[in-house]
Amino acid sequence: MISESEQNMRDERDEQAVSRFVERFASEMTEAGMQRMASRVFAALLADDDGSMTSAELAVALQISPAAVSGAINYLTQVSMVGRERDPGSRRDRYRLHDEVWYTTFAQRDRVLTRWENTLKDGARTLGEHTPAGARLAETAAFFEFVQEELVGMMDRWREHRKTLDLPTADERGGQRAGA
């Protein structure tokens, strides 16, 4: 339930400016490699005060088909950026950003890097570490190992840094726990 002052702030919000932000951020994410529709849906959820919308709300907000929403949501849930929940007393699904979505996303990339690193090391041994291809794979594996070590330290530093910021907690935002 939102307070009257929060509702007034929402009513005063320039919806065209919000839409421009959503499209701009979605474009940035698309340029970085995310699927276009998934970028748009993610940006719309990010710009929503609750961080959650139904498929119908997303379709209206983004002027896209329910099928486009479904495909985007499938991708976003697969990469654990969005969760699916039921509206109480309804058969409709609500899609919600996970709390600490970026932290969670990067933490999961840590596991991906570990798998890639191991596969690349195996490939380097298979090809011969002193062949040009094997050396390239060994260097790539070493790079991923370095990035992973740095990422772990960076994530720890972020946790400590976040404590110093005046940011609301998940409970204060009314959100759900990451991965929940």
Q: What is the pLDDT of residue 180?
A: 37
List alpha helices for the chain, DSSP H. 4-12, 15-31, 36-47, 55-62, 66-78, 101-127, 132-164, 170-173
pTM (two decimals): 0.74
Terminal-to-terminal C-alpha distance of the chain: 21
Residue 86's pLDDT is what? 84
pLDDT at 19: 94
CA distances from 172 to 74, 167, 168, 175 (A): 28, 9, 6, 8
Q: pLDDT value at position 20?
A: 95
> What is the pLDDT, as a whole number, of residue 111?
80
Q: With 0-12 CB in 10 A as exposed, 13-18 as middle and 19+ as buried, what is 71? A: middle
pLDDT truncated to tens, each residue of the chain (180 aa)?
555 555 555 567 899 999 999 999 999 999 999 999 999 999 999 999 989 999 999 999 999 999 999 999 999 998 889 998 887 788 888 999 987 888 887 777 778 888 999 999 999 999 999 999 999 999 999 999 999 889 889 989 998 998 899 887 766 665 543 333
